[in-house]
Amino acid sequence: MSTVLETSAPSSVVTLTRWELRPRDGQPPIRGESRVLAGTTPTSTVVICHGFKGFKNWGFFPPLPAR
């Protein structure tokens, strides 16, 4: 599923894609989000893992992709 987001910069649009990796052995899935500046092709990736009680929509996580 993809969603288009607008960042704080007026001319910047970010495409958000939610994804899920399902292990073959039945373990819980790993879920994530990819954010890419619209009209560009990513050349590198940054992976940020939060802890057990971490919240991806809190703290520095939400504004980080806009930088």
pLDDT tens for each residue of 26-57: 999 988 888 888 888 888 887 777 766 667 67
pLDDT at 12 over 60: yes
Structural domain count of the chain:
1
pLDDT for res 1? 55
Q: In the structure, what pLDDT confidence band is assigned to residue 65 with cuts at 50, 70 and 90? A: low
Q: 33 near 16, Cβ under 8 Å?
A: yes
Mean pLDDT of the chain: 76
Residue predicted with more confidence, 17 or 25: 25
Q: Confidence class of residue 67 from pLDDT cuts 50, 70 and 90?
A: low
State which residues form the domain around 62.
Answer: 2-66
Q: What are phi and psi of 4, to 5 degrees?
A: -95, 130
- Residue in the block written with tokens 């899920």: 20
Return the SS3 of 30.
Answer: strand
